[in-house]
Amino acid sequence: MSKTKLNGKEYDLMDPVENNQYWTKIAENVLLKRKIVKVEYMKDKECNEYMWYKKPITFILDNGTRVIAMQDDEGNDGGVLTCLTEDKEEVLPVLSVKE
């Protein structure tokens, strides 16, 4: 299935432009106008449950949504976030998980 609807609009996910528009809308629906209320690194126990070796940064939004930095879209391990401003680039790294 290459076509899907979101907010009444149909997107052809096989078309790169429409695929980008679709996933941008999904991201906007989840993140836009939300407030980050908590920031923390994932606990070792939880990383072990995911079978991850890298501990990523996570944050909680004002509606309870938890955002987790992952290595890839398959969730193979924790990943980094890069925060860019006009003046600097700050990488929030992954940390080691204890066995």
Separation of alpha carbons 63 and 92, rounded Å:
23
* Each residue's pLDDT tens digit, 85-96: 999 999 999 999
Separation of alpha carbons 73 and 26, rounded Å:
15
The distance from CA 61 to its chain's CA centroid, rounded to whole angstroms, is 12
* Each residue's pLDDT tens digit, 58-99: 999 999 999 999 999 999 999 999 999 999 999 999 999 987
pLDDT at 1: 60
Separation of alpha carbons 93 and 55, rounded Å:
9
* Each residue's pLDDT tens digit, 14-43: 999 999 999 999 999 999 999 999 999 999
What average pLDDT does the structure give for the chain? 93
Q: Name 69's Cβ contacts closer than 8 Å, sequence gap at least 6.
A: 56, 57, 58, 78, 79, 80, 81, 92, 94
pTM for this prediction: 0.83
